[in-house]
Structure 1
């Protein structure tokens, strides 16, 4: 074993770790924000629509309009049912965002239901909140449909029966946290990994210590390994904290094997480090490195499939996602947590990240060597 090379490598690793961890504020920045983001996203950021208010304009005051209103009020997603007295009140309630939706019954609603005629219910939605309005419209339509099914029995006097069995694999109760929490390991890990790595070479230039590296006995690959090790260790530490908190605090099941998950995570972090090193090598100041990492991380998150499915993107944009490591590790993270992803499926999504890491790290080494000459 080449002990002088081992000592040089150990020295550069300690030097880089010390550069990252010596400042108490830096240490707090590496630990506190990821935990804060985990809890903020876990408890506050959700696409589910709950605790909304519904306005009701009941000009019928009959038994069937009362039944519909009662079921709306009894829904666990509805916070308040606001009684409206006129169309002007309905307009003001929507316009002032007092309610997200309003249900209007005309004066003959119950009579039409009892007579077996077509009875109409008008649902008015706040189009300024388009996504939430569509979800609320689904809730209200489902309630009204269930009442309509009971209001029109079959000729033999029995209520119509429809047998529908709905099964949601991997997330039986459609818990939103089950969907979002595994993805946070990917998204927050990418933001931290890119930010830390992108500062490394730029910090050397800004502090004037880059020239000392050039005249040191360290070789290029030793410098790169030394600069790659701290973000890799910090990324593994934060991910381990997430893996401990997500099942225990948020109740998301961890069904897969960590024995396969951690090697894939290491490859994922190396691919991020390669991108971060490219940004850092091309930057002359820490401010440029910060802006560069932001320029890379935001599109990477948007194109990962975390917020919107990749299948919904245009074909040319789907092709761009092929070089995005977040895309592959998001599949692995969700698969390991929710569906016990087998080893061959993990491997199928790991080798593209390994290829990305190989290309980016090699390019970083070439650029770094060119800058040292």
Structure 2
């Protein structure tokens, strides 16, 4: 029986094979072609970038005066972390870091200035939030500083936490997230407080200095800046409480994705430069000598990545030569070389020890 079944199966397979010899040929399945690479020249030009080039300068929105971020020195020159990013962009576009007009803006009118076209980009310690992004439609091109809201108090109060500020007067700035964040913090802990809302950050700081309030609540970087200009900085302390996440970064108005890409990749270029060891001082030598393909692409030696964004081949090289890499910009304005002397913390490179959140996207 067993042998009969085997023979039958063999006969069946032989018959199927014979039938297959006479079967019509089937049409092969179409091959899926790989996606075509779009040449830089085929991409639509950014109308914002075109207008900037015709004008001959970048209009950059900045803080009215915040030590470390954007302020004028005794010669009337703009200085600071955000001001340097404005210059890096001007260098990337024009090869000239001074081809920029700084437009000082309050917290209340900064986004209106973007919508109205008074500025091309906002570099003004502004937090990337869902309301501003999905709700109002502004495009954040990245994060250049990870911050959080805290509280500045007089050391003589001997407080261990902001939760001890029951019934206290707390100065906050209007037109920012500060009051909402303070409300969330105190309400979640059942602590009553009295907000003292001032029109500007400077007004809130001055009110705190006059003792019109018991605490000043703002981004920790802003509190560190405020403390440096108080009459006796050592008499004031920033409490350990961090009551919010404040990812600060550049914003542009919606409708011009190509312009957002220029802002995004200028930021990433200076971040990547630090990771790869490219500095203001060695960029020229590395452009001639480096064999690292990542460095060569960054500095415009290999490929023409600038053309993808409507920029020159040396756009990133020009930005780095003008202002330095991310670490140099940080140290000069906020870190060890500045009056603020802020630690890198979350703003350390992702591969540092200890690591932070700063991560440069690849140029390739």
Q: Decide: shared fold, TM above 0.5.
A: no
Q: Whose helix fraction is larger, Structure 1's or Structure 2's?
A: 1
Q: Whose strand fraction is larger, Structure 1's or Structure 2's?
A: 2
Query: Whose relative contact order is higher, 1 or 2, with alpha carbons under 8 Å and at least 6 apart?
Result: 2
TM-score, scaled relative to structure 2: 0.23
